[in-house]
Amino acid sequence: MEENGHKEHLIVKHREELFMVYFSTVVAVCGSYAFGTCVGYSSPTQFSIMDELSLSFSQYSIFGSILTTGAMLGAITGGRIADFLGRKGAMRLSSVICGAGWLAIYLAKEPMVLYLGRFLAGYSIGIISYVVPMFVGEISPNKLRGALSSTNQLSIVIGLSTAYVMGAFVGWRILALLGVIPCGLLFLGLFFIPESPRWLVIFYSIYYMLI
């Protein structure tokens, strides 16, 4: 009887651990979804933004391309941020920056504010592109690592497609406001999931070396 009870306890514990792995992955890939919406935003909104803000084609080209400039800087600094703040801290920072970028685009009345918002969104997805797949890989069991890691790319494509489809039905400001939602879900969800065990081992090993 005692042995059966111990086995049942292990089974329940294993299920709880798997649930947390799945839930943590869902929370993390909200950032990947935000990545996709940022990339897909500029295509369906081009002419409405140009008309409302009186932008030339060259000005709109800057708006479209400055995302990649921000993403490049985010990718360069993302590793340092993830090591210093932790995987959760890096994702939380990127969600705040991305949300601020979307709000800047939503409130924009002139090109410079539009560019700032797009740059911030780009910087955030640069961090996301680094930290999300790393976090998912570090929390996943060996047998599930491949499947769970693929949700990163899947979420990016879903976000991209959603931006294209929604852009056909809503205005560019509303679409920007909708982009805040996955950022908010990521920010809130991070309060309910654990930190990467690999980062914790590295952090505490350095901590105990210093004290």
Q: How far apart are the first and last CA of the chain?
A: 47
Integer Cα distance of 16 and 84 in angstroms: 29
Give residue 194's pLDDT: 93
Q: Which residues contact 108 (CB under 8 A, 6 or more apart)?
A: 53, 114, 117
Helix axes 57-107, 111-139, angle to 10 degrees: 70
- What is the model's pLDDT at position 209? 72
Least confident of 7-11, 22-26, 74-78: 7-11
Convert the pLDDT of each residue in 133-154 to its tens digit.
999 999 999 899 999 999 999 9
Q: Is 30 in contact with 185 (CB distance < 8 Å)?
A: yes
Cα–Cα distance for residue pair 84/79, rounded to 1 Å: 9
Q: pLDDT tens for residues 158-172?
A: 999 999 999 999 999
How many alpha carbons lie under 13 Å from residue 210 in its C-beta half-sphere? 6
The pLDDT tens digits of the residues spanning 48-97 come to: 999 999 999 999 999 999 999 999 999 999 999 999 999 999 999 999 99
Residue 155 to residue 148: CA distance in whole angstroms: 11
Distance CA 116, CA 108 (A): 9
Query: pLDDT tens digits, residue range 87-131?
Result: 999 999 999 999 999 999 999 999 999 999 999 999 999 999 999
pLDDT value of residue 96:
98
Q: Which residue segment(s) compose the domain that 23 sits in?
A: 2-210
pLDDT reported for residue 102: 98
- CATH number assigned to the domain comprising residue 47: 1.20.1250.20
Other beta carbons within 10 Å of 57 = 8
Please give the DSSP secondary-structure letter assigned to residue 56. -
188 pLDDT tier (thresholds 50, 70, 90): very high
Statement: residue 42 has pLDDT above 90: yes
CA distance 114 to 146: 38
CA 211 vs CA 197, 198, 202, 206, 207: distances in Å: 21, 20, 15, 9, 7
The answer on pLDDT for 185 being more than 80 is yes
Q: Please say whether the beta carbons of 139 and 14 come within 8 A.
A: no
Number of structural domains in the chain: 1
Q: At what angle do helices 2-40 and 145-167 cross, to 10 degrees?
A: 40
